[in-house]
Structure formats: structure tokens, C-alpha cells
Structure 1
Amino acid sequence: MNSTFLFISGPEVMIIMLIVVMVFGADKIPEIARGLGKGIRQVKDATNDIKREIKDSSDTTGIDTDIAKDINKEISSVKDDIEDLTGPIKRQL
């Protein structure tokens, strides 16, 4: 079985790894991996901070989360009304 990851097969991955080792050297690869890990962690922390800020600001400003529930309820009601109106038309077709 030939498993692919992002349309790259095993031999292609090995060639890419060989090129990376040749360009950066074996001693730099762990340093590069640590840098990438730190960068990914910073992005994740930043997105969590943004989510927390939005949640905190919505809680402190008194935005009612029940509004979304009411809107969804009204949308469902309108969908049901439309379904009732279009039901006979759909059956005729």
C-alpha cells in the first residue's frame, strides 16, 4: 500500500528531508523545530487571548446570549411556515 500525505509519497518525503539536512545541517534542525513550535504556540495563545477578550467584553457589556437563541427560534418558525406554504407545491411537481 502506498500511503500519501498531502499528495506526497514516502520517497518524496525522504528527498525533502535530505534536502533540509543538506541546507540547514543536522545540528540546526532541532533548533528550527523548536522555533516553529514556539511560533505555533504563540499563535495559539494569541487566538485564545482574542477569544477570551471577546467573551469577557460580551459578558461585561451585558450582551444577552439569549438573543441568539431567540433569533434561531424565529428562523426555525419562518422555515416551518415556508415549508407549510411550499408543501403543496412540491407535491404537485
Structure 2
Amino acid sequence: MKTILLFNFLGPEMLVIFFAILLLFGGKKIPELMRGIGKGIKEFNSARSTLESELKDGMKEAERRELEEKRQS
């Protein structure tokens, strides 16, 4: 059974992609593009960490309520 790996780029493929980006955006636009990608990744990680903390807080609250219900029973 053959597995297809997505985004498994080696040296030659990376060079082709780099030159394609260079041709499409030009040398002056690449720093702006990378900055935008960096900001997007930063926002994504921030949202992910916020969601994780809210989920953990919700789970702790549910456990606390469950323990209180058991004590009352």
C-alpha cells in the first residue's frame, strides 16, 4: 500500500516553488508577504491558545460541579 505524503518537498521542489513565488510577487513584495504570513500564524496561535485555555477552564468547572453534586448526594 503506497502512502501519499502531502507537503513532503525536497530540494529541487523547494527551488521551483521559491522561483515561482519570486516571479509572481517580485523581490520587493516577498518581505511584505512573509510579514503577513507571520502575522497570520501569530493570530492563529493566539486564538488556539485562547481556545485551549477556555476548554481547560470549562473542563475544570464541569469537574468541580460534578464533585459538588457527588458531595450533596
Q: TM-score, normalised by structure 2?
A: 0.65
Number of corresponding residues = 60
5+ residue gaps, structure 2: 1-6, 68-73
Q: Secondary structure at the match of 2:28?
A: coil
- Which amino acid is the alignment partner of residue 58 of structure 1? M
**Greater Rg by CA:** 1
Runs of 4+ aligned structure 1 residues displaced above 6 Å come to none
- Partner Cα separation in structure 2 for residue 58 and residue 9 of structure 1: 42
User: What percentage of aligned pairs have identical amino acids?
Assistant: 35
Say which structure is richer in helix. Answer: 2
Between the two structures, name the one with larger relative contact order (CA 8 Å, sep ≥ 6).
2
Q: Residues 63 and 16 of structure 1: is their aligned pair in 2 closer, same or farther, counting only changes over 3 Å?
A: same
Q: TM-score, normalised by structure 1?
A: 0.53
1:11 aligned onto 2:9: no
